A and B are shown apart, each in its own frame.
Chain A
Amino acid sequence: MANMSLVKLPMPSQEPDVRNKNFKEVALGYTAEMAVEEAQRCLGCKAMPCVGGCPVKIDIPGFIKHIAEGDFEGAYQVIAKSSSLPAVCGRVCPQETQCEGVCVRGKKGEPVAIGRLERFAADWHNANSTEKPARPEPNGHKVAVIGAGPAGLTCAGDLAKAGYEVTVYEALHMAGGVLVYGIPEFRLPKSIVEHEINGLRDLGVKIETNVIIGRTITIDELFEDGFEAVFIGSGAGLPNFMKIPGENLKGVYSANEFLTRVNLMKAYKQGSATPIKKSDRVAVVGGGNVAMDAARSALRLGAKEVYIVYRRSENELPARAEEIEHAKEEGIIFKTLTNPIKILGDENSVVCGMECISMELGEPDDSGRRRPIKVEGSEHVIDVDCVIMAIGTSPNPLIKNTTEGLDTNKWGCIVADETTGRTSRDGVYAGGDAVTGAATVILAMGAGKTAAASIDEFIKQK
């Protein structure tokens, strides 16, 4: 008999007033009993809209059934067939717009907590299973993957499982991409990322760090070295700024820089060799997940007041619902319908305030969202000593400039077919933020998966 509770079983988490002062994971995860109870809310319906809502098409009712029966390893094995990074997805996917957004149970009450159950199954496996995956029989073909982020790692994992010899080239000194430099420890512990990456290494995937494709070696040279196909998952690129006065003052960061200092370089730890400015009052400009991560990190670094400054209204905030909720609980102040026009500096060129203008919503624009319009005469100053710009990125030109015949669109994103990942160059595939511009981990993983299947087909047909 299904559990007919209209609401998801809440997931235990650290108290807001405690967690906003530490970098430990906020959500603590279900216990086995809780997971079984929540799993019983799934009706196992025939239509399975959740599977259609998942970019990597995980057999969701299948794995939930295993959990309901207490077979947690079985649940993990079902997820692992479709996802190379289950413990990551359970934590960072925007489930409310994907699987959970279309769950039948959500029509009346809350959907099944699919994300929490996925996380439970993955964590259970990581804690209890010592079995290493069997190395597939090598098929004698070599594929190169550029970028060890979600797109590249997924593509590498799928190809390795099919017997390919895969080498992943990573520009930074550590594999993981945005999972290690961008998403903070309190939302995605780095030990989990490391565990998932070690799983790929066990499958035979080689990861070479400190290699910048386009500089250290070009795509053409990879082909000369015997790779038969290349997947580009190089990520989003350079941070955008607003082009308003004062953006180069001391105390203005891009979210990429701020988060990289904190996450990858561990600036939050006492004794870290990498510095970060200590600030009392921080404004984060933007409303996506990256903005929430930056704001909540700033709070944990000791800021007394942290603002999210966003030009549209709360309904348009693009961040995951859970991140917005967590941010509010922790004391982040939301200044929506507000847009910066100038950053103010003191005599030492250090940020001492941000001038903003109030906005109101007009007619819908191309994105379908209502266009924000300035309210004349509403200029006001927010008292801050640090500003973090989290308003998206523009593609890195390195690979484009060094790869002849690789088409990019007017924004500089690599053009790749959505259903195959194929680019304008034979044997070159691409996916993730390098193609779409800044998006989500799971969409990048979906693109990596699609490309892996196309690469397999391409090489077999040769």
Chain B
Amino acid sequence: MYKIVRKKILNPTVILMDIEAPAVARKAEPGQFIILRTDEEGERIPLTVGGYDRDKGTVTIIFQVVGATTEKLAHMEEGDSLKDFAGPLGNATEVEGLKKVAVVGGGVGCAIAYPVAKKLHEIGCEVHSIVGFRNKDLVILEDEFKACSDKLVMMTDDGSYGTKGLVTNALKELIDSGEKYDEVIAIGPVIMMKFVSGVTKEYGIKTVVSMNPVMIDGTGMCGGCRLTVGGETKFACVDGPDFDGHLVDYDEAMVRAAMYKPFEREQHEETCRLFGN
């Protein structure tokens, strides 16, 4: 069993938890993910590592309530335990040798982008973070990003905080103003990663995106997480989750991600009724 040692509400639908999992904490790196089950009857869901404390033996997960399992998870409290917590899975984000990077995060994807930005900062890389949210109420991890970024650009869709507009506008502006990046790392909704990659392709800047497809085992067995990258089938769990942003077939990834949406909606509503939401 894996104890929840800290729970913090980051915004109305995004929650942070520190989970006691010493074996995972010892090895976890930014970019990797874990698979958890809340209880014996639960499904296996992948969540990207949001941070880790090797001394305390804890791993941070940050999740948005989108389905039955995340709803159940949201109702668990400090002191409760998860049934299963396996990892770290997937390859860590490659940061070696990078001198100047733009980290682009969108929505809850910022939770995954943050540990990458932090790691880059720690190795002495110049970090420009561009983070985007729908509105002011949904902003998360602002102070954390500030602490590890040489430059932080805050964007909101409605202009209620930071600058009004999309992260791609901000990225374009920075590049046009003469900033030269070794690499752009984009983590967020698939559609955002698609458009960021579209921008960087024009400028010929290497771009890495973090894909989070439907998964079951996460260890290289089921093949459910397959994507088309550069015309070849790749498995996000063992080949990724990071891929060359200019080669990913995003449209296919979006279609595949929506495969179980009706089922998930039904399950989520059912779970909400159980909790009396």
Q: Using a CB–CB distance below 8 Å, which chain A residues touch chain B?
A: 171-173, 181, 209-212, 215-217, 235, 237-239, 241, 243, 247-248, 250, 253-254, 256-257, 260-261, 264-265, 272-275, 277, 348-349, 396-398
Chain A residues, Cβ within 8 Å of B69: 273
Are A273 and B41 within 8 A (Cβ)?
yes
Tell which of B109-117, B133-141, B182-190, B212-220 binds the partner. Answer: B212-220
Are A216 and B23 within 8 A (Cβ)?
yes
Q: CA–CA, A265 to B227, complex, Å?
A: 23
Chain B residues, Cβ within 8 Å of A254: 222-224
Other 18 A-B pairs with CB < 8 A, given A209-B86, A241-B233: A172-B86, A212-B219, A216-B23, A239-B221, A239-B223, A247-B233, A254-B224, A256-B221, A257-B223, A260-B221, A273-B68, A273-B69, A275-B260, A275-B263, A275-B267, A277-B259, A396-B220, A398-B238
Per-residue 0/1 for B17-49: is the Cβ within 8 Å of any A Cβ (1 yes, 0 no)? 000000110010000000001000111100000
Q: CA–CA, A247 to B24, complex, Å?
A: 34
Interface centre among B217, B238, B255 (most CB of A within 10 A): B217
**Nearest Cβ on chain A to B275's Cβ, whole angstroms:** 15
Are B83 and A257 within 8 A (Cβ)?
no
Q: CA–CA, A348 to B233, complex, Å?
A: 20
Per-residue 0/1 for B80-101: is the Cβ within 8 Å of any A Cβ (1 yes, 0 no)? 0001111111000000000000
Are A261 and B216 within 8 A (Cβ)?
yes
Closest-by-CB residue of B relative to A396 is B220
Q: Quick one: which of B84, B224, B228 contacts A173, CB cutoff 8 A?
A: B84
Closest-by-CB residue of B relative to A256 is B222
Interface centre among B69, B86, B222, B228 (most CB of A within 10 A): B222
Chain B residues, Cβ within 8 Å of A247: 233
Chain B residues, Cβ within 8 Å of A274: 43-44, 216
Summarize A's interface: helix, strand, loop or mixed. Answer: loop
Are B233 and A248 within 8 A (Cβ)?
yes
**Nearest Cβ on chain B to A289's Cβ, whole angstroms:** 17
Q: CA–CA, A349 to B88, complex, Å?
A: 33
Q: Quick one: which of A173, A212, A243 contacts B44, CB cutoff 8 A?
A: A173
Chain B residues, Cβ within 8 Å of A272: 41, 43
Chain A residues, Cβ within 8 Å of B264: 275
Are B43 and A239 within 8 A (Cβ)?
no
Q: CA–CA, A63 to B226, complex, Å?
A: 48
Are A398 and B219 within 8 A (Cβ)?
yes
**Nearest Cβ on chain B to A326's Cβ, whole angstroms:** 25
**Nearest Cβ on chain B to A255's Cβ, whole angstroms:** 9
**Nearest Cβ on chain A to B19's Cβ, whole angstroms:** 12
Chain B residues, Cβ within 8 Å of A264: 216
The 6 closest A-B pairs by CB, nearest first: A210-B86, A254-B223, A239-B223, A257-B222, A273-B43, A275-B263
Chain B residues, Cβ within 8 Å of A173: 37, 44, 83-84, 86
**A/B interface sample: 5 pairs, CB < 8 A:** A215-B89, A248-B256, A260-B221, A275-B263, A396-B219
Q: CA–CA, A209 to B85, complex, Å?
A: 10
Are A248 and B222 within 8 A (Cβ)?
no
